[in-house]
Amino acid sequence: MTTSFPNRRMRRLRAKDALRGLVAENALCVDDLIYPVFVLPGQDSREAVPSMPGVERLSLDLLLEEMKKWVGLGIRTFALFPVTPMTLKTDCAKEAFNPDGLTQTTLRAIKKAYPDIMLMSDVALDPFTSHGQDGLIDSDGYVVNDETVEVLVKQALSHAEAGADIVAPSDMMDGRIGQIRQALESNGYVNTCIMAYSAKYASSYYGPFRDAVGSAANIKGGNKKTYQMDPANSDEAIHEIALDIEEGADMVMVKPGMPYLDIVRRCKDEFSVPTFAYQVSGEYAMHQAAFANGWLNEDEVVLESLLAFKRAGADGILTYFAPKAAELLRNSNK
């Protein structure tokens, strides 16, 4: 039976800061943060991403320098995304599994410099295809599934060989988790984790990311609706997640993040597996625009937006706010 007012005052537990902390149901810490970084070929090269204020593409030498600061803030997991020159993009995406490619070279170099951090690599073909799609296409422009999976397996293996701790297939091809898992096991990479982009929606929130990796121009107004999920669907996401877990995924992801918190909650409730969300480039860009105009308080909103993922059930968040959030969290603990 519910105790009636005034015996039950809900505000009583909100009266003091220490008391609010004592009864908080969720908490955000730096270990929840995964920082996506964009790497350029060459040396001493730094490019701003206009649609993502504060985010830069960095050549490997500069990336290694910047990582000193990020690791010093306590960030221990990084997601790598390569910026592939147009001259290396082909219909067959062969650069994706080049053992001396940008991603593979970067993985080896970072692991040598920072052996204790976790590196997560993107397994998808859109940075490497001349048409900007996440897979191979047929004569009608349709992204073919099984042929694409063959290339994804080669790409994932090349990343594991280069030192990736986590390979993260983001392509949304059917059956790719099972084949990647089998290939990793067969080649001795039994401890390489798979974080499956299991519920990746055909979202309009990805625009700034495509600018950052240089695939926006290639896709030329096309879309990815034949393989990424329909934003209208929720049950379908649960089926996708179940299949990926069955095929050998260690962790699953929902993307985008905040517009799909209901999917994060359903995933955690129904499967109780390590669940992650991606606060994508469009979410970041919208926040930054509001901050720049003085419409929102940056420090408070950054932490609130990330805490929302934890409340929904996420174990971790990929976010471009990772350094900012890490700094805020460190200062709050002093």
Quick count: other Cβ atoms within 10 Å of Cβ 146? 13
Distance separating alpha carbons of residues 185 and 193, to the nearest angstrom: 11
Contact 118, 78 (CB under 8 A): yes
Which amino acids are annotated catalytic? 200, 255
List of residues 6+ apart from 173 with CB closer than 8 A: 134, 135, 145, 148, 149, 152, 227
- At residue 115, what is the residue type? P
For helices 145-162 and 102-113, what crossing angle results, to 10°? 30
Q: What angle do CA 265, 266, 267 make, to 5 degrees?
A: 90
180, with CB counted inside 10 A (0-12, 13-18, 19+), is buried
